[in-house]
């Protein structure tokens, strides 16, 4: 589905991502981990066609840079980290924004019964149906995060790119979101690529983990490939594996 070869990209003529090559198949969930500044968000922005790049990013055999913006948006949805700037719409209206691409008249058309039902389904998936008439300016950070995730689902893309999707969510909603994303991708042989800081969540969510270090791929594969104590220690400068094992032992001691 997604083939990336020799990718270089960045900002103001400086490459943040350097010679990245990998293939992602339909139905796979990919977690991206790595230290701050390692290129995780820049990589997502390039895949979404939001920044120029050198090399190749092909979706179903077609180069992203040769696709029109509307065509990309019909196949790829990108949810970045929450901005402090947004319009004072209701929850329902905000999620409906994700449907306009699928509506014949676009933003100026009246949503059909089917569109409205689909939006309600997306709201139900993130447990926000009862807040559908609330102004988003009145929501907590966690609630707002779930609204924007529902808007992403409403777009019905083939690929969802999520930049720290569990940020602002409590533990319950983090777990629920991960499970829904897995179900969503498996049903339609779709792809979810998400940036995570929590390695436990990344392991729970993904089929493969992409580990970035200084803009390059340090490792790419299943969790067995990534959970190498020496590898993680060399990148994070801390013994993460031992830290996680000690936390697990504490949980087991309560058994």
163-181 pLDDT per residue, tens: 988 887 888 888 888 888 8
101-153 pLDDT per residue, tens: 887 766 667 888 999 999 999 999 888 999 999 999 898 888 888 898 899 98
Q: How many CB atoms lie within 10 A of CB 13?
A: 5
Report the length, in residues, of the chain.
255
What is the three-class DSSP state of 5?
Answer: strand
180-194 pLDDT per residue, tens: 888 888 877 889 999
Decide if pLDDT at 84 tops 90: no
CB proximity list for 65: less than 8 A, separation 6 or greater: 49, 52, 53, 57
| Per-residue pLDDT at 160 | 94
pTM to 2 decimal places: 0.87
HSE of 113 in the Cβ direction (CA atoms, 13 Å)? Answer: 0
111 close to 138: Cβ distance less than 8 angstroms? no
Average pLDDT over residues 59-76: 91
Q: How far is the C-alpha of 241 from the C-alpha of 34, rounded, in Å?
A: 14
* Domains observed in the chain: 2-253 (3.40.50.300)
């Amino acid at each position: 589905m997604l083939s990336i070869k020799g990718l270089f990209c960045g900002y103001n003529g400086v490459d943040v991502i350097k010679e990245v090559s990998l293939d992602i198949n339909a139905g796979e969930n990919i977690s991206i981990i790595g230290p701050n500044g390692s290129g995780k968000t820049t990589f997502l922005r390039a895949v979404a066609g939001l920044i120029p790049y050198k090399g190749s990013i092909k979706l179903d055999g077609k180069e992203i840079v040769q696709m029109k913006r509307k065509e990309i948006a019909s196949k790829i949805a990108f949810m970045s980290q929450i901005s402090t700037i947004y319009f004072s719409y209701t929850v329902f209206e905000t999620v409906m924004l994700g449907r306009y691409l699928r509506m014949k008249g676009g933003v100026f058309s009246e949503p059909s019964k089917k569109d409205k039902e689909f939006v309600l389904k997306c709201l139900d998936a993130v447990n926000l149906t009862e807040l559908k008439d609330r102004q988003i300016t009145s929501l907590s950070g966690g609630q707002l995060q779930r609204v924007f995730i529902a808007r992403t689902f409403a777009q019905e893309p083939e690929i969802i790119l999520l930049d720290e999707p569990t940020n602002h969510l409590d533990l319950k909603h983090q777990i629920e979101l991960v499970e829904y994303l897995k179900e969503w991708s498996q049903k339609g042989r779709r792809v979810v690529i998400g940036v995570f800081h929590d390695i436990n969540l990344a392991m729970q969510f993904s089929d493969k983990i992409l580990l970035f270090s200084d803009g390059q791929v340090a490792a790419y594969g299943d969790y067995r490939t990534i959970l190498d104590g020496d590898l993680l220690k060399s990148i994070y400068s801390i013994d993460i594996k031992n830290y996680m094992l000690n936390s697990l032992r504490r949980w087991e001691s309560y058994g």
